[in-house]
Amino acid sequence: MSEKNLIVDKNKCVSCGLCVKDCVASALEFDENNKPSFGVNGENSCIKCQHCLAVCPVGAISILNKNPQDSEPIWSQNPDTILNLIKSRRSIRHYKPENIDEQTMHKLKNMLNWSPTGCNFHKLHFAFVEDKNVMDKIRTHVNTKLVKILSGKIVNAVTKKIAYYKDALINGEDIIFRGAPHMVVVSAPINSPCVNIDPVIALSYFELYAFSLGIGTCWCGFAQVCMQLFPELAQQMGIPDGYKVSYVMLFGIPDIHYQRTTQPEPFEMITVNDFNTAAKVSLTKRIKHFFVNGIR
Ligand SMILES: Cc1cc2nc3c(=O)[nH]c(=O)nc-3n(C[C@H](O)[C@H](O)[C@H](O)COP(=O)(O)O)c2cc1C
C-alpha cells in the first residue's frame, strides 16, 4: 500500500475534474478511463492537504486512508456572529482557580489539528499544562527565579523600570502567568517553511474557539521570554529537539466578564490603486530596504 493511498471509487466518480483542478501540487491527472490518479511523480509532490477528498461532489475520493464519509458537512456561517466573537474576545487576566473540564480541554486540543501550516508542513508541537497543580509548580519555579534575577545588582543598575515587576513578584502577584490554571506552549520544527507564522495562526484559532466555549485566554509574551531564559522549562514541557518554542497562551475559566466590546483606534490601512512597472528603486532605498525593512 502506498503512503498516500489514493483510492477513487470509480462507480461514484463523475469525472468532473474538480480534484485535478484544485490540486495545489498538480499531483493528479485523469487516467485512460477519465478518472483521477497520481501522475508521474504525483505521489511525491502531494502535500497531503486532502483538497481532493474535500472538493469531490460525490465523496468518491479517499486519500491517506481517510473515508470521505467521516468528514463533516460544511455549514454556512453567520458573519455577524463571527464578527461579534472577534470583537468581544479579550485578554483574560483573572481566572477561576480550577481546571477546565476534560471535554472542553479535548475540544480545544482537537480543534488545533485544523490549523493551517505553510506548505501543509503540519508538524506543530503543543505542550499543554492541563492540571492547575502543575501550573502552580511552574508558576512558583519561574516567579522565584525571576525575583532572584530582578534583585541582582547588575539588573538594578541597568534599569530602574523593573522595580515595579520585582515588587509585584515579591508581593506574590502572578504578573507572568496571571493566575491561569492552564497554558499551552506551541513549537515548530526549525526547518518548517513558516516556523514563525504557523504557531501564531494556531494560537489565534485557539483563542477564538476557546472564547466561543466560555474559556478565556491570554497571549503571554512574558512566559515566552521565560521559556527562553530558563531552559529547564522547555525541557520539562517536553519540547522536542530541533523545535523552536514560538509562543505561550494562558487559558482557563474567566473570573471576569465584559459587558461590551472595545473601540480600538483604527490601524493604518491604505489602498494600492496602481502599480508602475517601470519605477526604479534608488540604491539608498534598496540598502535601507535590505537592512532595515528586511531585518524587521
Ligand atoms: C503577542 C502578544 C503578547 C502578549 N503578551 C502579554 C503578556 O505577556 N501579558 C499580558 O498580560 N498580556 C499580554 N498580551 C495581551 C495584550 O496586552 C492585549 O492583547 C492588549 O492589551 C489588548 O487587549 P485585548 O487582547 O483584551 O483586546 C499579549 C498580546 C499579544 C498579541
- Mind giving me the DSSP string for 43-85? HHH-----HHHHH-TT--EEBTTB-GGGSPPPPP--HHHHHHH
Q: Output the CA 219–ligand 1 centroid distance in Å.
A: 5
pLDDT tens figures, 195-237: 999 999 999 999 999 999 999 999 999 999 999 999 999 999 9
Mean pLDDT over each residue of the chain, to the nearest integer: 95
Looking at 3.30.565.10, 3.30.70.20, 2.40.10.10, 3.40.390.10, the CATH number of the domain 7-70 comes to 3.30.70.20
Residue with the smallest CA separation from ligand 1 atom 3 is: 221
Q: Output the CA 262–ligand 1 centroid distance in Å.
A: 14
Confidence band, pLDDT 50/70/90 cuts, at residue 18: very high
Listed by start position, the domains of the chain span 7-70, 82-252
Residue with the smallest CA separation from ligand 1 atom 17 is: 91
CA distances from 40 to 29, 30, 47, 152 (A): 9, 12, 15, 64
Confidence band, pLDDT 50/70/90 cuts, at residue 1: low
pLDDT tens figures, 21-72: 999 999 999 999 999 999 999 999 999 999 999 999 999 999 999 999 999 9
User: Fold match between 7-70 and 82-252?
Assistant: no
Residue with the smallest CA separation from ligand 1 atom 26 is: 90
* In the block, residue with C-alpha cell 455549514: 75
Above 60 in pLDDT, residue 296?
no
Q: The domain 82-252 belongs to what CATH superfamily?
A: NADH Oxidase (3.40.109.10)
* In the block, residue with C-alpha cell 504557531: 199
* In the block, residue with C-alpha cell 528586511: 294
pLDDT tens figures, 75-86: 999 999 999 999
Q: Output the CA 94–ligand 1 centroid distance in Å.
A: 13
Render 163-220 in DSSP notation, one character per residue: HHHHHHHHTT--TTTTT-SEEEEEEEETT-TTTTTHHHHHHHHHHHHHHHTT-EEEE-
Above 90 in pLDDT, residue 156?
no
Query: What's the confidence (pLDDT) of residue 164?
Result: 84
pLDDT tens figures, 240-253: 999 999 999 999 99
Which residues are near ligand 1 (CB < 6 Å)?
A: 90-91, 93, 178, 218-222
DSSP state of 124: -
Quick one: which atom of ligand 1 is closest to the CA of 222?
A: 8
Q: Output the CA 220–ligand 1 centroid distance in Å.
A: 7
Residue with the smallest CA separation from ligand 1 atom 19 is: 91
Q: Output the CA 222–ligand 1 centroid distance in Å.
A: 10
Q: Output the CA 75–ligand 1 centroid distance in Å.
A: 32
Residue with the smallest CA separation from ligand 1 atom 18 is: 91
Query: What's the confidence (pLDDT) of residue 112?
Result: 98
